[in-house]
Amino acid sequence: MPLPIPAVQQALREDGLDGWLLYDFHGSNPIATRLTDLASSPKLATRRWYYLVPAEGEPRGLVHALERHNLDALPGGKVVYSRREQLSSGLQQLLKGMKRIAMEYSPDNAIPYVSRVDAGTVEAVRQHGVEVVSSGDLVQRFEAIWSDEALATHRAASERLYRIKDRAFELVRSRRQGLTELEVQQAMVGWFADEGLITDSAPCVAAQENAGNPHYQPTADVHRRIGGNELVLLDLWGKLQSPGAVFADITWMGFTGATVPEKYAAAFAAARDARDAAVNLVQHAAREGRDIRGYEVDRAARQVIDRAGYGAQFIHRTGHSLGETVHGNGVHMDDYETHDERRLIPGTGFTIEPGIYTPEFGVRTEINMYVGARDAKVTGPRQMDIVPLV
């Protein structure tokens, strides 16, 4: 069973919560369907269902009469409803004794990745005198923590990505005349297969002004040649093909000339120093055993870039959670696109990737971190300067 009830109850007690109420309607809450394993169920799920895990006692559910068997694989009893009046009374019965519960809710929708329960359902719960708080940290505990085996897959994927990065830079170095972004990208796709890596998208290879677009991706119809004295950005992510494997995700910068111009070097130095400020903050907090939240890490990086005069050119969050998908279900390093108050908890991994983007060029540096019980580590080499590709 994907949801370990004793561990959930322990987490609820530690966080001062009376329960965790999982709710779904027509797949509107993928977190709930994953945790209860209904996402893989062949059964219909067209009616509202609720499943409450209390901090103490037996879990209990509320299901529609047409789909009364949907929660049978989960422990605990259940109440069956069909009429709307029965739904209201059933919810009241389900919430009996609850004062403060977690749901997939985020105040002001500050963390949209967690905000999966509609406002009306939250209102219906509150009408029974129950306080609703975000389940964001609970979700992390049961969806974002890596096992020792998962960490090993991440490290293995990271090593392979760095090898692919080196091969791509060497290809650009050896064929500086006439090589296109698409040709480099497709060569990298082949090297992914050679290394036994899988991914959800081909790598990004972006030259000069295209590097100024954080989500640029060369395609057969849209790409350009890589010229001399130009920046080349490589962004690549992948994981092993084994069950439970987690992603690694890196970005490196090269320059097709002997000497990197000062304007490029200065921008990269600002991004590099911002990256390292974020890394240092995470490491110090982990070693001191104190809580740190995603928005704080973003602020640490952003302050460095602001002081360097590039604040307006840093237009995305500092980092994202890593998991079995490249954008995982844990905390993001973000006080820009969202205000992520989730904690960085031991056993989770994420990226640190500040960037600076202009119409003429862009730079980014991306590394991965893993938080352990009393330390946090960068899981691969850090780029300190733009690599000359001559």
pTM over 0.85: yes
- DSSP strand pairing (49-54 vs 19-24): antiparallel
Q: Where are the domains of the chain?
A: 5-142, 145-388
More confidently predicted of 240 and 2:
240
Question: Residue 374: is it exposed, middle or buried by C-beta count within 10 angstroms (0-12/13-18/19+)?
Answer: exposed
pLDDT of 93 above 70: yes
The length of the chain in residues reads 390
Q: Quickly state the pLDDT bin for 173 (edges 50, 70, 90).
A: very high
Q: Return the number of other C-beta atoms located less than 10 Å from residue 72's C-beta.
A: 10
Q: Which two tokens stand for residue 85?
A: 């009046």
In angstroms, rounded to a whole number, what is the distance separating the alpha carbons of residues 313 and 316?
9
Q: Are 378 and 279 in contact (CB under 8 A)?
A: yes
Q: Please write the tens of the pLDDT for every residue from 278-308.
A: 999 999 999 999 999 999 999 999 999 999 9
Residue 43: the pLDDT is: 65
Residue 37: the pLDDT is: 85
In angstroms, rounded to a whole number, what is the distance separating the alpha carbons of residues 380 and 155?
8
Residue 370's closest CA among 345, 341, 353?
A: 345
Q: Please write the tens of the pLDDT for every residue from 108-122.
A: 998 898 999 999 999
Q: Quickly state the pLDDT bin for 3 (edges 50, 70, 90).
A: confident
pLDDT of 57 above 90: yes
pLDDT of 1 above 70: no
Max CA separation in the chain (angstroms): 75
Residue 21: the pLDDT is: 98
In angstroms, rounded to a whole number, what is the distance separating the alpha carbons of residues 25 and 45?
7
Residue 205: the pLDDT is: 98
Q: Are 133 and 100 in contact (CB under 8 A)?
A: yes
CATH architecture of 5-142: 3-Layer(aba) Sandwich (3.40)
Task: Give the three-class secondary structure for 51.
Answer: strand
Q: Mean per-residue pLDDT for 190-217?
A: 97
Residue 178: the pLDDT is: 78
Average pLDDT across the chain, whole number: 96
CATH superfamily of domain region 145-388: Creatinase/methionine aminopeptidase superfamily (3.90.230.10)
Q: Which two tokens stand for residue 353?
A: 């990737």
Q: Which two tokens stand for residue 366?
A: 């991306």
Q: Quickly state the pLDDT bin for 44 (edges 50, 70, 90).
A: confident
Q: Mean per-residue pLDDT for 139-153?
A: 95
CA atoms within 13 A on the CB side of 295: 10
Residue 342's closest CA among 112, 130, 180, 74?
A: 112
Q: Mean per-residue pLDDT for 263-272?
A: 98
Q: Which two tokens stand for residue 218?
A: 């060369």
